[in-house]
Structure 1
Amino acid sequence: MIPDDIRRFIVQCIPSVPFLEALLLLRDGGAREWDSAQLAQRLYLNTAKADELLAQLLRAGLLSLHEAAPTRYFYAPRTPQLAGLVDQLAVIYGQNLIEVSTLIHLKTNRKAHLFADAFVWRKKER
C-alpha cells in the first residue's frame, strides 16, 4: 500500500516512469555527476529523452548543475523534505513497483483522455 503523502507526491510530481527511474538512479549515485549520454545508456533511452528528463528533474528541484560543467548534473533536492519524500518513494517503489507504476500510468492516461476528449465532435442537439 502506498501512503497518502507518497501517493500525492507521485500524482503531483512524477510525470512518468522514466522520470522516476532517472530520479532514483541519480539518487542512488550519491554525489556522482551525470550527463545525458550516461543517463541514456543506463536507462536505454536516446540522448534527447535523457536531456529532457534531466531538464525536468532540474526544474523540479531534484538536481543541480555542476558549476564548471553545465552539462553535468547531480542529485541535490532543494529541501530536506523533498529528499525525504524521494527516499520514502525509493523504498515504496522497490516494494510496490507495479502499484506505483500503475498510479503513474493512470495519471498519464487520464490526461491523454482529457486531451482527446477536447477534440471529439459532438452532434448538436436540436
Structure 2
Amino acid sequence: MIPDDIRRFIVQCIPSVPFLEALLLLRENPHQAWDAAALAQRLYLDAATAERLLAELTSAGLAAQRDGQGHGYAPRAPELAARVDELADVYRRHLVEVSTLIHRKSNRKAQAFAEAFVWRNKES
C-alpha cells in the first residue's frame, strides 16, 4: 500500500515513470555527474528524452548542474530529499502500484485533453 503522503507526492511531482527512474538513479549515485548520453544509456532512452528528464529534474529542484560536467542529485530542501527517500523505499516495495498510479495520472490528463476537442451537440 502506498502511504497517502507519498501518493500525493507522486501525483503532484512525478510526471512519468522515466522521470522517477532518472530521479532514483541520480539519488543512488549522488556524487556522480550525469549527462544525457550516460543517462540515456543507463535507462535505455534516447538522448533527447534523457536531456529533457535532466532539465525537468533540475527545474523541479531535484537535480543541479555540476560545473558543466552533467547533472547530479541535489534536492533543494532537506524535506524534499526525505520525501524522495520515502518514495524510493515505497517504489522498491510496491513497484507495480507506484507505476500504475503514475500511468493512471498520465492517462487522466491525456483523456481530459482529448475530451476538450470532442464536438458536442447543443440541445435546442
Query: TM exceeds 0.5?
Result: yes
Distance apart, 1:30 and its partner CA: 1.7
Q: Runs of 5+ in structure 2 lacking a partner?
A: none
Cα distance in 1, alignment partners of residues 7 and 21 from structure 2: 16
**Displacement over 4 Å in runs of 4+:** none
Deviations 1:24-74 (A, max 9, x none): 00100121110000000000000000000000000000001113x1x5100
Cα distance in 1, alignment partners of residues 84 and 122 from structure 2: 49
Q: 1:64 aligns to what SS in structure 2? A: strand
Q: How does 1:87-102 map to 2 (within 5 A)?
A: 87-102=85-100
Q: TM-score by structure 1 length?
A: 0.96
Q: Runs of 5+ in structure 1 lacking a partner?
A: none
Q: How does 1:12-51 map to 2 (within 5 A)?
A: 12-51=12-51
**Over aligned residues, Cα RMSD in angstroms?**
0.8
Distance apart, 1:123 and its partner CA: 1.3
Matched, 1:76 2:77: no
Distance apart, 1:100 and its partner CA: 0.3
Cα distance in 2, alignment partners of residues 26 and 66 from structure 1: 13
Distance apart, 1:117 and its partner CA: 0.4
Q: Percent identity?
A: 65
Cα distance in 1, alignment partners of residues 39 and 70 from structure 2: 11
**1:64 — aligned with what?**
64
